[in-house]
Amino acid sequence: MHEDFIGYLAEHEGREYDLHATHVNTAFVKMLKAIGFDKRYVRGEGCYLWDEDGNKYLDLLTGWGVFALGRNHPKVKAMLKQYLDQEMPNLVRMNCSLLSGLVAEKLTSVTGAGLSRVFFTNSGTEAVEGALKFARAATNRSGVVYCDHSFHGLTLGSLSVNGAQFFRERFGDLMPGTRAVPFNDLAALEKELSTRNVAAFILEPVQGKSCEVVADGYLEEAQRLCRKHGTLLIADEIQCGLGRTGKWFCFQHWPNIEPDIVCVSKALSGGFVPVGAVVTRPKIMDAVFNSLERCVVHSSTFGQNDMAMVAALATLHAIESEGLVENAAIMGEYMQQRLREIGASCPFVKEVRGKGLMFGIDFHRPAESLKLKMAWDMLHKLNFGVFGQMIVIPLMQKHKILTQVAGYHTEVIKFLPPLVMSKADADWFLNAMQDVLADTLRVPGSAWETVMGLAKRTVMA
């Protein structure tokens, strides 16, 4: 196998779904088969994937936001190859590596806001765990306030600040002292902060599960309230950061916002090596690592590993040198604007919302047309949240576009296009949406038949 690894893979071609059903996650395999997503992808480049039959797909899921640079970005690949060809010392641990220092320097320069220290992690949820611990240590408080519908990861600490009951069910007691407030509700936030036992207020400036965006003025006032009550503001930019919304970080859309902690991950990997980061102020970091004895009181074995650092450094430079932040702003504006126009003729569309290249389409029961209302009601009686599949399935089967509903029990479909998206790619998507939305108005019709069948099967499963 070592000599001919690609040949080894070829020998096992076609076994992936059986292997996963047997050894990994049977329910996931069943779900993929139910919606016809059990494809075999054989190649990925830029915004595209190819299956075994040579079909080309537009990827608007980007591995849940990982492939901001598209797949197999040549500059990141070239840097990783150069690194592998050296005999580098990696993870000596009782030393400081040049690579992680360079990534920290670059990352803090684009973060700004006086945040000049970085703690590296291996994933998004680990960055959130670190941020929560740092906030508790720096404030000597233990409470954490978070928003309804928020998503910050699924390990126990992050799960304790998850805004959906669905993810918490059956996992037992979580971290004490956490409280939810409605998104964009300053009065509710102030009420919680005024208890003066809150270490941190954590939020996503664009919520991943709903694509709701913070209202203008909200962050400014939330920051003022946090400072007034001695609470640290954590911006979870794991999904919306690194250029996706048309600024390096989403909080930078509003003037004078200086979070105390920013969490980063996903896109920082360049799509190659898992990595995350907690970016914060020296004062906060020094409160955690406050003596020689405590200099590794929070750490992780694989944190700062060289491969992750090469991928991160290459990614930050590629985003900058290729003007991807600017492209995200332009393409995001174009796609959202056109989608709003297209959506206006479909009564199921409630709203198109988001920021830059992180946006979603939210559906609701139509106000008019008895026929459409009845179809909506019938489907929802069978299964809430399946309506989105009427968009997702034909986007995939008919138009070769990969998307997903934004979360469980929601009517939102989210789009996370690569930041390298071109206008031609955007038009591929927009033309497909026009067709798919028009199909939802044909009752009875094949789109409704497919989704009703799916709803029945999932109810019976």
Q: How many residues does the chain have?
A: 461
Q: Smaller CB distance to ligand PLP: residue 152 or 338?
A: 152
Q: Where are the alpha helices (DSSP H) in 262-388?
A: 282-288, 306-321, 324-343, 370-382
Least CB distance to ligand PLP at residue 387 (A): 23
Q: Smaller CB distance to ligand PLP: residue 200 or 372?
A: 200
Least CB distance to ligand PLP at residue 217 (A): 22
Q: Which residue is nearest to ligand PLP (CB)?
A: 124
Q: Phi and psi for 420 in degrees, rounded to 5?
A: -90, 10
* Phi and psi based region of residue 76 (left: phi greater than 0; alpha: psi -120 to 50; beta: remaining): alpha
| Spatial CA neighbour of 79 closest among 61, 102, 104 | 102
CA distances from 234 to 224, 238, 388 (A): 13, 11, 31
Q: Tokens in use for 210?
A: 């709903």
Instruction: Let me know: does 346 contact 361? Beta carbons within 8 Å.
Output: no
Least CB distance to ligand PLP at residue 149 (A): 11
Least CB distance to ligand PLP at residue 240 (A): 7
Q: Smaller CB distance to ligand PLP: residue 238 or 342?
A: 238
Amino acid residing at 227: R
Least CB distance to ligand PLP at residue 267 (A): 11
Q: Smaller CB distance to ligand PLP: residue 269 or 450?
A: 269
Whole-angstrom distance, CA of residue 413 vs CA of residue 390: 11
Residues that bind ligand PLP (CB under 6 A): 64, 123-125, 128, 151-153, 204, 208, 236, 238-239, 265
* Phi and psi based region of residue 207 (left: phi greater than 0; alpha: psi -120 to 50; beta: remaining): beta
311 contact partners, CB below 8 Å, separation of at least 6 = 76, 79, 80, 268, 269, 270, 272, 273, 275
Least CB distance to ligand PLP at residue 97 (A): 23
DSSP symbols for 212-238: -BPPTTHHHHHHHHHHHTT-EEEEE-T
Q: Smaller CB distance to ligand PLP: residue 128 or 132?
A: 128
| Spatial CA neighbour of 204 closest among 138, 148, 268 | 148
Q: Smaller CB distance to ligand PLP: residue 70 or 124?
A: 124
Q: Smaller CB distance to ligand PLP: residue 71 or 266?
A: 266
Q: Smaller CB distance to ligand PLP: residue 130 or 343?
A: 130
Least CB distance to ligand PLP at residue 248 (A): 16
Q: State whether residue 240 is helix, strand or coil.
A: coil
DSSP symbols for 52-73: TT--EEEESSHHHHT-TT-BS-
Least CB distance to ligand PLP at residue 264 (A): 10
Q: Smaller CB distance to ligand PLP: residue 249 or 448?
A: 249
Least CB distance to ligand PLP at residue 156 (A): 12
